[in-house]
A and B are shown apart, each in its own frame.
Chain A
Amino acid sequence: MSVTLARIEPSIAGVGDYVALLKPRVMSLVVFTALVGLLIAPGHVHPVIALTALLCIAVGAGAAGALNMWYDADIDARMTRTAGRPIPQGRVTPGEAAGFGLTLAMFAVVTLGLLVNWVAASLLAFTIAFYVVIYTMWLKRSTPQNIVIGGAAGALPPIIGWAAVTGGVAVEPIVLFLIIFFWTPPHFWALSLYRTEDYARAGIPMLPVVAGEAETRRQIVIYTLILAPLGVAPWFLGYAGPLYGIAAVATGAAMIVLALRVRAERQGHAASKQMFGFSILYLFLLFAVLLADRLWGGLAAQAVSHFAA
């Protein structure tokens, strides 16, 4: 019997490489939206429990990022935007990334379940599984609807944050979920419009690659027209004040104007780049103002009850 075994080189991966596997920028957005879900939820949770929940959600999101980089190492190597990641650069082996991601995912879910509650933990486990299995392994390479359906994973953190406090799910976090869900396609399609060659070289069927630029620009407008009213919904539903309402109307209108400019663009990608950049600011502003609105409302209510007493 002849057995040939590969020579295993000692790892040269540094701490920075493992941090990069966690996709810190994505993680920060996940933590921020989860924080909003957590803080707008009714009821009280001890700050230590809230911080623990956020930590678990952050680690879970990082684990999903590491598993995504493990599975997508082949296409990451072919794209300019991702070629510098630790696995394509050879600093981290795919096996190390997979082990790292699975370990963190398990720790995050079990810790969230044991220390906070199992509804939030189940939602976190579902989010990680959805992102890794449904989006990364299946949709990303097979359909231009990849980021539409896969966007659900990125939209779930406010629901997890809410569930960490209440132990359940309600309309309010579902509206936040829908905002992020409908924000994702115009955000990523604006990016893909000026990265079309990159995606085509990697064989990823993004909408501009498969259906062309004109169709992508049209779909950006459609999704933005759904997104803008959804952004105002928390005000209509009564769990955000007029400050939020004004901000949502103004930024939603700006998103529509930018989407129409993307639609009208014939040469270059200036409008697409502007749309991509502003879409990040849009989502951040919506959630930040909602948070400020709720915190301000809570402080005002406390002050009123204090003086009334």
Chain B
Amino acid sequence: MTIVSGAMDEVSPPPFPPPQAGEGQGGGIRLTEQQLRARRSRSIAIALALGAFVVVIFVVTLVKLGSNVLTRPM
């Protein structure tokens, strides 16, 4: 993410500033290969952690409630 610095109330920045190094067209960020790889590995790790968390909650629920899951009062 790029945040343009400058005097906000003095000179209005052009609507589409020319791309700088590391930026794509229209000022968006173009990630390097290393950044893309790092982001992908982090995303996978977060997905696995969340999946593991769901499994833990599910299994502990079964252990704590057991067959009472089906017999609880509605």
Contact = CB atoms under 8 A, between A and B. Distances in A.
Given A11-B35, A11-B38, A12-B35, A2 B63 contact: no
Given A2-B7, A5-B5, A10 B31 contact: yes
Given A15-B41, A48-B63, A10 B3 contact: no
Contact of A1 (B8, B35, B45): B8
Given A2-B8, A3-B8, A18-B45, A10 B39 contact: yes
B71 interface: no
Interface string B1-29: 11111111110000000000000000001
**Chain B interface extent, by class:** 20 to 34
Interface of chain B, helix or strand or loop or mixed?
helix
Given A15-B42, A48-B63, A49-B60, A4 B5 contact: yes
Interface in A1-53: 1-8, 10-15, 18, 46, 48-49, 52
B59 interface: yes
Nearest to B37: A14
Nearest to B48: A15
Interface of B: 1-10, 29, 31, 34-35, 37-39, 41-42, 44-45, 53, 56-57, 59-60, 63-64
Contacts of A111: 53, 56
B10 A49 contact: no
A1 to B, nearest CB: 5
Interface of A: 1-8, 10-15, 18, 46, 48-49, 52, 55, 107, 111, 115
Nearest to A116: B60
Nearest to B20: A7
Contacts of B45: 15, 18
A14 B34 CA distance: 9
A15 B60 CA distance: 27
Contacts of A15: 41-42, 44-45
7 shortest A-B CB distances, which residue pairs? A5-B3, A2-B7, A15-B45, A48-B63, A10-B35, A4-B5, A15-B41
B64 to A, nearest CB: 8
A2 B34 CA distance: 34
Contacts of B60: 48-49, 52, 115
B63 A46 contact: yes
A52 B56 contact: yes
30 contacts: A1-B7, A1-B9, A2-B8, A3-B7, A4-B5, A5-B3, A5-B5, A6-B5, A7-B2, A7-B5, A8-B1, A8-B3, A10-B1, A10-B31, A10-B39, A11-B35, A11-B39, A12-B34, A12-B35, A12-B38, A14-B37, A14-B42, A15-B42, A18-B45, A46-B63, A48-B60, A49-B64, A55-B56, A115-B56, A115-B57
A163 to B, nearest CB: 17
Contacts of B57: 115
Contact of A14 (B8, B29, B38, B56): B38
Contacts of A7: 2-3, 5
